[in-house]
């Protein structure tokens, strides 16, 4: 087994955008990169810059172009001076990002061969592009440079066939996370409260973009606070993120003021408590997930794909309330999550109410989600899948050479 694994080791160039805030694509890429490194692969990074639209102006544009040129020079040096390997590009899905990522893809195809180039699609924006749009035309051009396109679910795979991508070139590689699954026996134990009057702990953990559902979460908590019947401790965890897909708040300041006002109203209740954690990582994030009984993500984010936070909640033994947005139904089904029938606070409150009241119902849901994660989505299985893709590219290149 060890000898076989050593034969598969090689070099992988990871090209992806590195921004200051949280990025699901970056997190998913670095999970694979760090995992393969531990397995003996040589992983090299080509960090693509992100244009800071908040700064604007000629100076920001020149700074971005200079950084982009540096990356392209570095890509040329790595690919042409370091020898063979594989290239994995975490593809951006804006016009600027598609042009930005096309250059290293062209270099990789020229130097490594098409079969050793993988495009990874973690976002879902391409699912909404019109057939004749400029984005679609650029997208097709970019995808033609890769031997394999990795997507996170079957909906995405089906959509790519509509973009004239051969189905055999599209591989479904479901996301994973780096949080270790709690023992199966601990799932029921975490939901068992020492006193019947102890509060049920709710958690929202994601970027604070309003279409990801955090306003509905706080408004549902307001409804519980007004009823003053159930004991709830709730956490809103995330940083406010400026997004073109925000609909309710014109600025970060407006969103912050609204959140603080809602928390003030909720916390006037004697039985419902809520607090805001301005982002969490590492041990702090794990502690929040392990403490939570119910994980809530009522997202209607237009480009939602497969949130890593849901996989983290599954691994942590949480009962989950979410939506069928994007590729969420790939990792969850009705047996292990409550799917919302609509995006309103009242619908969310109605879905949460029985889970807050009924411990056996919570345990049943959490146990099913945890079991699904353990059997299908743990990080070792995810890395095995990536090694299979890399090995297939090597074999295809070898056949072409002979």
* pLDDT for 395: 62
Domain that residue 366 falls in: 185-376
Does residue 241 sit in the same domain as residue 291?
A: yes
pLDDT at 6 (0 to 100): 45
Asked whether residue 294 carries a pLDDT value surpassing 60, the answer given is yes
What's the mean pLDDT in 272-297?
96
Please report which confidence band the pLDDT of residue 55 belongs to, taking 50, 70 and 90 as the band edges: low
Same domain, 24 and 110: yes
Mean of pLDDT over the chain: 90
How far apart CA 267 and CA 262 sit, in angstroms, is 9
**Of 306, 374, 358, which Cα lies nearest the Cα of 24?**
306
pLDDT per residue over 74-91, tens digit each?
A: 888 877 766 678 999 999
Considering the chain, what percentage of its residues have pLDDT values greater than 90? 69
Cα Rg of the chain (Å, integer): 22
Q: Report the alpha-carbon distance of residue 81 to residue 250 in Å, rounded.
A: 48
In a shared domain, residues 241 and 152: no
Please indicate, yes or no, whether residues 220 and 321 belong to a single structural domain of this protein.
yes
Eight-state DSSP code of residue 180: P
* DSSP secondary structure of 66-114: HHHHHHHHHHHHHHHHS---EEEEE---SHHHHHHHHHHHHHHHHHH-G
> CB–CB of 234/202 below 8 Å?
yes
Q: What is the total count of domains within the chain?
A: 2
Mean pLDDT within 258-278 = 97
How confident is the model over 214-263, as pLDDT tens digits? Answer: 999 999 999 999 997 889 999 999 999 888 888 899 899 999 999 999 99
Same-domain status, 209 and 358? yes
Closest residue by Cα to residue 101 from 32, 64, 52, 48: 48
Q: Which among 62-76, 132-146, 155-169, 193-207 has the top mean pLDDT?
A: 132-146
Query: DSSP letter string over 332-356?
Result: --TTT-EEPSSSSHHHHHHHHHHHH
397 pLDDT band, cuts 50/70/90, is: low
Q: Are residues 330 and 201 in the same domain?
A: yes
d(CA 338, CA 387): 34
* Band of residue 127 on the pLDDT scale cut at 50, 70, 90: very high
Name, in order, each residue with C-beta under 8 angstroms of 166's C-beta and a sequence gap of 6 or more.
none
User: What is the pLDDT at residue 102?
Assistant: 93
Give yes or no: residues 126 and 147 share one domain. Answer: yes
Check pLDDT > 70 for residue 53.
no
Asked if pLDDT for residue 354 goes beyond 70, the answer is: yes
What integer pLDDT is reported at residue 3 of this predicted model? 40
Answer yes or no: do 171 and 202 share one domain.
Answer: no
Are residues 109 and 11 part of one domain? yes
Q: Say how far apart CA 133 and CA 143 lie, in whole Å.
A: 16
- What pLDDT does residue 4 have? 42
Using alpha carbons only, what angle is made at residue 312 by residues 306 and 265, rounded to the nearest 5 degrees?
95
Whole-number pLDDT of residue 335: 95
Q: What residues does 208 pair with on adjacent strands?
A: 240
Q: Residue 320: pLDDT above 70?
A: yes
- Same domain, yes or no: 209 and 242: yes
Rounded CA-CA distance 34/359 in Å is: 38
Q: What is the DSSP letter of 209?
A: -
The pLDDT of residue 396 is 59
Report whether pLDDT(2) > 50. Answer: no
CATH number (domain holding residue 347) = 3.40.50.2000
State the average pLDDT over residues 159-184.
91
| Same domain for 110 and 96 | yes
- Helix ranges (H only) for 267-401 are 282-291, 308-315, 328-331, 345-357, 359-376, 379-401
Sign of the four-CA dihedral 324, 330, 333, 337: negative
Which pLDDT score is estimated for 168? 82
The number of CA neighbours under 13 Å toward the Cβ of 120 is: 26
Residues 386 and 361 in one domain: no
Q: List, for residues 304-318, the tens digit of each pLDDT value.
A: 999 999 999 999 999
pLDDT in tens, 33-42: 999 999 999 9
């Amino acid at each position: 087994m060890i000898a076989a694994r050593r034969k598969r080791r090689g070099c992988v160039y990871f090209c992806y955008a590195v921004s200051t805030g949280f990025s699901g694509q970056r997190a998913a890429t670095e999970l694979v990169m760090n995992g393969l490194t531990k397995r003996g692969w040589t992983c090299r990074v080509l960090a693509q810059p992100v244009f800071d639209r908040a700064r604007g102006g000629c100076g920001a544009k020149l700074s971005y172009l200079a950084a982009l040129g540096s990356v392209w020079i570095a890509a040329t040096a790595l690919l042409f001076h370091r020898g063979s390997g594989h290239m994995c590009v975490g593809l951006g899905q804006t016009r600027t990002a598609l042009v930005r990522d096309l250059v290293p893809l062209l270099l990789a195809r020229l130097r490594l061969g098409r079969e050793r180039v993988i495009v990874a699609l973690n976002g879902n924006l391409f699912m909404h592009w019109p057939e004749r749009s400029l984005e679609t035309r650029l997208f097709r051009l970019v995808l033609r440079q890769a031997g394999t396109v990795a997507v996170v679910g079957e909906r995405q795979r089906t959509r790519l066939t509509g973009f004239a991508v051969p189905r055999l070139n599209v591989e479904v590689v479901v996301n994973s996370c780096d949080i270790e699954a709690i023992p199966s026996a601990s799932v029921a134990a975490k939901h068992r409260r020492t006193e019947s009057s102890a509060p049920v702990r709710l958690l929202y953990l994601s970027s604070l973009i309003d279409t990801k559902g955090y306003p509905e979460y706080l408004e549902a908590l307001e409804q519980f606070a007004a009823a003053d019947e159930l004991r709830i401790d709730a956490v809103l965890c995330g940083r406010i993120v400026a997004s073109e897909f925000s609909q309710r708040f014109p600025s970060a300041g407006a969103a912050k003021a609204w959140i603080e006002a809602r928390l003030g109203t909720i916390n006037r209740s004697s039985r419902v408590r809520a607090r805001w954690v301005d982002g969490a990582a590492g041990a702090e994030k794990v502690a929040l997930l392990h403490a939570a009984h119910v994980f809530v993500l009522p997202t209607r984010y237009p480009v939602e794909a497969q949130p890593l936070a849901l996989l983290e909640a599954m691994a942590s033994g949480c009962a989950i309330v979410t939506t069928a947005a994007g590729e969420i139904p790939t990792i969850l089904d009705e047996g292990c999550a409550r799917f919302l029938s609509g995006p309103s606070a009242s619908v969310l409150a109605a879905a949460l109410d029985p889970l807050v009241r009924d411990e056996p119902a919570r345990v049943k849901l959490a146990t099913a989600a945890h079991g699904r994660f353990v059997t299908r989505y743990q990080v070792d299985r995810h890395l095995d899948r990536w090694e299979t893709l890399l090995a297939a590219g090597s074999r295809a290149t070898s056949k072409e050479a002979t």
